[in-house]
């Protein structure tokens, strides 16, 4: 590679691999993308909430309910003021992409990097010396926020349940 050139790997439009990828990538309409996004937020949120509660209640028993409720409230605030905006941006992105868009493209590249970063942070936290119950409180807050804000995807999905012609759009 000559100096000044970037080492980005970008396939030219006409290559056989690029054409094959364009032809065979999984595609979904708006409603399908909304469902996948909601399921992702809902499943991750409920998993984090369940694991967090398990760790918190395992350490503090009945008193852990009080601690967890404080973090549920924090999660609701985070969901309302942070994740609701992120969900609305994703919904706008899905609407702009329209029908037959790549199934994994419902989030921007930046959002996917953020997801990977949060997963890495979770792994680091679990393998650190921080007690699991303390990490569990964070999980309770984040899980609650994800579950709460996933309602945005559900509402939009429900609003689009019938396509313009009265038929179901996958």
Q: Model-level pTM greater than 0.85? A: no
**Whole-number pLDDT of residue 70:** 98
Q: Are 83 and 148 in contact (CB under 8 A)?
A: yes
**Whole-number pLDDT of residue 12:** 61
**pLDDT band with cut points at 50, 70 and 90 for residue 26:** confident
Please tell me the distance from the alpha carbon of residue 144 to that of residue 73, in angstroms, as a whole number: 8
**Whole-number pLDDT of residue 7:** 47
Residues 18-27: what's their mean pLDDT?
83
**Taking the mean position of all CA atoms in its chain, how far away is CA 21?**
24
Q: Tell me the sheet residues that pair with 27.
A: 102
**Whole-number pLDDT of residue 4:** 46
Instruction: Read off the pLDDT of residues 102-148 as tens digits, 9 standing for 90 and up.
Output: 888 888 889 899 999 999 999 999 999 999 999 999 999 999 999 99
pLDDT at 165 over 70: no
Residues 7-21: what's their mean pLDDT?
69
């Amino acid at each position: 590679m000559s100096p000044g050139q970037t080492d980005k790997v970008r396939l030219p439009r006409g290559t056989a691999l690029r054409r094959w990828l364009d032809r065979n990538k999984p595609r979904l309409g708006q409603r399908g993308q909304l469902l996948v996004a909601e399921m992702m937020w809902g499943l991750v949120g409920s998993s984090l909430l369940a694991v967090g509660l398990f760790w918190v209640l395992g350490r503090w028993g009945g008193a852990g309910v009080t601690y967890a409720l404080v973090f549920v409230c924090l999660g609701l605030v985070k969901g309302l003021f942070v994740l609701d905006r992120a969900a609305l941006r994703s919904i706008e992105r899905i609407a702009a992409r329209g029908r037959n868009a790549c199934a994994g493209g419902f989030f921007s590249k930046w959002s996917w990097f953020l997801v990977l970063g949060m997963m890495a942070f979770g792994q680091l936290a679990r393998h650190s010396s921080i007690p699991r119950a303390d990490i569990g409180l964070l999980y309770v807050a984040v899980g609650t926020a994800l579950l709460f804000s996933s309602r945005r995807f559900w509402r939009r999905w429900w609003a689009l349940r019938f396509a313009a012609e009265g038929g179901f759009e996958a």
